[in-house]
Structure 1
Amino acid sequence: MAPEQLPTRARLVADALADAGATGRVRELADAVRTAAAAAEALGCEVGAIANSLVFLSDGEPVLVLTSGRHRVDTAALAARWERGELRRATPEQVREATGQVIGGVAPVGHPKPLPTVVDEALTDYPQVWAAAGTPHTVFPTTAAELLRLTGGSLLPVGP
């Protein structure tokens, strides 16, 4: 799909990806995929190959955790590994304020300003992963290495 045909939020993500030299193109899905399981089913991949974008608050600022869809974030363990204060899940309003995007469509890029980011090391188990592209209807293919490059993030385990 041509970038100009994408929804506004997805177009911002597509532009950010292009500006960063990312290889994947934003794809619009027929139905919203607000969960890793729904995204995996729509894309025909393993749930672990879905890079969930979760926004937390830590030390008074929003942070982004890109986690494999195959498990949950252990916030206490991750905060200790990342050497940050407590990680508290952001509200939908806080997510939108920090990213300009809604829960279920938060991309790793295309935010008003870059967020401190962790990329789940479990994503390195997959040669290709899929991430949301600004809306619950849009995704793009990428890799864990590219996510690290795009976000300037840290590669850490996010589970226990």
Structure 2
Amino acid sequence: MSSLAHPGIQKVTTALREAGAAEAALGVRVLDQDARTAAQAAAALGVPVGAIANSLVFDADGEPLLVLTSGAHRADTRLLAELVGVARVRRADPEFVRAATGQTIGGVAPVGHPAPLRTVIDEALAVHPVVWAAAGHPRAVFPTTCARLAALTGAPVARVARDEVGSAAR
């Protein structure tokens, strides 16, 4: 894939433009290879793994919860359940992710979903002047900031992890 013509990428760039983030839409990059993990994305971009905004979809008592977490963190499901006020948060299966986002695991963007998703953003992303988020395809990413992600999604910025996992993060 060498162009931005993929339908998933188009949905994300349209959503970014409509949200007033044209600069992010213009910054979408298509990588040479899939970057389904934070470590892969960081290596392809030459940035710290913590500057990758992992888009993780969870099942929060049957409803989708999108967590944009630093690639240097592993989201803590008990902490997330407390944060959003549900009994249980667990990792969603690929079908649940696709139904909620219209995107596949590894390419889930913060925007461009069929309907708005409840979202939480990892406070650890705020230490990076630029963070990279998926753009609707496992090879597509765009540069942004933690503050811009919060503005785009209407999500709170909070602690979502209890420990650092370094470059082994996914």
Aligned residues: 157
**SS in structure 2 opposite 1:112?**
coil
Give 1:105 deviation, angstroms: 0.4
Runs of 4+ in 1 over 2 A off after TM superposition: 81-85
Q: Residue 103 of structure 2 aligns with which residue?
A: 101
SS of 1:145 mapped into structure 2? helix
Gaps of 5+ in 1: none
Give me the whole-angstrom Cα distance separating, in 2, the residues matched to 1:106 and 1:27: 15
The offset of 1:21, in angstroms, is 1.3
Question: Residue 141 of structure 1: SS of its match in structure 2?
Answer: strand
TM-score after normalising by structure 1:
0.94
Query: Normalised by the size of structure 2, how large is the TM-score?
Result: 0.89
Q: Relative to 1, partners in 2 of residues 1:65 and 1:8: Cα closer, same or farther, differing over 3 Å?
A: same
Letter paired with 1:10: I
Structure 1 residues 156 and 5, CA gap change in structure 2 (3 angstroms):
closer
Deviations 1:71-103 (A, max 9, x none): 101110121123233111110011001001000
**What SS does the aligned partner of 1:51 have?**
strand
Whether 2:29 is the aligned partner of 1:30: answer: no
**Alignment-mate amino acid for residue 141 of structure 1:** P
Tell me how far 1:51 sits from its aligned partner.
0.2
**Unpaired stretches in structure 2, ≥5 consecutive residues:** 163-170
Q: Does 1:79 align with 2:81?
A: yes
Q: Distance in 2 between matches of 1:36 and 1:111?
A: 21
Equivalent residues in 2 for 1:111-150 (5 A)? 111-150=113-152
Between 1:56-65 and 1:109-118, the stretch displaced more is 56-65
Distance 1:60 1:153 in 2: 19
Asked if 2 retains the 8 angstrom alpha-carbon contact of 1:130 and 1:139, the reply is: yes
**Residue in 1 that maps onto 2:153:** 151
Question: Percent identity among equivalent residues?
Answer: 59
**Correspondence for 1:19:** 18
* Alpha-carbon distance, 1:60 to partner: 2.1
Q: Retained in 2: the 8 A contact 1:6–1:28?
A: no
The root-mean-square deviation of aligned C-alpha atoms, in Å, is 1.1
- Output the CA distance in 1 between the equivalents of 2:46 and 2:62: 38
1:56 aligned residue: 58
Q: Is the 8 A contact 2:4 2:30 kept in 1?
A: no
- Equivalent-residue separation in structure 2 for 1:153 and 1:84 (angstroms): 17
Per-residue Cα deviation, 1:23-63 (whole angstroms, up to 9, x for no partner) = 22211111110000000000010000000000011132111
Native 8 Å contact 1:51 1:123 kept in 2? yes
Give the distance between the partners of 2:118 and 2:82, measured in 1 at CA: 15
User: Is structure 2 residue 39 aligned with structure 1 residue 7?
Assistant: no
